[in-house]
């Protein structure tokens, strides 16, 4: 199989590489670019552990080929904190104990960023619906729901 060239921005860093056409985006992020925040929990689009923001939209990176994402901007959990200051969602996840093993967390955060971009003041039902694509086996989701609700006004205030 012939390798194809891709170039994209990951967490503000411009990268270029050659990948096999069949390589999944999540594999490229992890194995080619060493960005290991997106995790592989299923590789079939069911768990959301691989969720990243592609041009601001939450996407499951196991459901895309690396060659599909030329010239896009990808943000992972590693790119949410700015100058060492946690993003309001990261801060709220911390304060509300919305993570245990942390395996779902990078994907969950990206899904939550997208959720709050679409619905800045969500109800509990809207938060639960907005995160339904992201499985967490540790927390029972309650602290995650609390954290997203807590982060919403802070994000609105900061205009994120």
Q: How many residues touch other proteins (CB under 8 A)?
A: 62
Residue among 3, 1, 2 nearest 18 (CA): 3
How would you write 42-90 as a 3-class SS string?
A: CCCCCCCCCEEEECCEEEECCCCEHHHHCCCEEECHHHCCECCECCHHH
Phi, psi of 12 (to 5 degrees): 85, 0
Nearer Cβ to other proteins (40/117)? 40
Q: Does 5 bind other proteins (CB under 8 A)?
A: no
Q: Does 64 bind ligand FES (CB under 6 A)?
A: no
Q: Report CA torsion sign: 64, 24, 107, 89.
A: negative
Q: Does 41 bind ligand FES (CB under 6 A)?
A: yes
Q: Does 33 bind other proteins (CB under 8 A)?
A: no
Q: Does 65 bind ligand FES (CB under 6 A)?
A: no
Residue among 17, 31, 21 nearest 67 (CA): 21
Which member of 3, 21, 36, 42 binds ligand FES (CB under 6 A)? 42
Q: Does 50 bind ligand FES (CB under 6 A)?
A: yes
The site for other proteins (CB under 8 A) is made up of 20, 22, 30-31, 35-44, 46-47, 49, 76-78, 80-81, 86, 90, 93-95, 97, 99-106, 109, 121-125, 127-129, 131-146, 149
């Amino acid at each position: 199989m012939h390798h194809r060239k891709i170039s994209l921005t990951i967490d503000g860093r411009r990268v270029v590489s050659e990948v096999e056409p069949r390589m999944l985006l999540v594999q490229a992020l992890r194995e080619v670019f060493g960005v290991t925040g997106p995790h592989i929990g299923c590789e079939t689009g069911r768990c959301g552990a691989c969720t990243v923001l592609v041009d601001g939209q939450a996407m499951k990176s196991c459901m895309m080929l690396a060659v599909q994402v030329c010239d896009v901007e990808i943000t992972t959990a590693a790119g949410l904190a700015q100058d060492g200051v946690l993003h309001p969602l990261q801060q709220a996840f911390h304060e509300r104990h919305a993570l245990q093993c942390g395996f779902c967390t990078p994907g969950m955060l990206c899904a939550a960023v997208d959720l709050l971009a679409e619905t800045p003041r969500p109800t509990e039902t809207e938060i639960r619906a907005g995160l339904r694509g992201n499985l967490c086996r540790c927390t029972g989701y309650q602290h995650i729901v609390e954290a997203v609700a807590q982060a919403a006004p802070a994000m609105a205030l900061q205009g994120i």
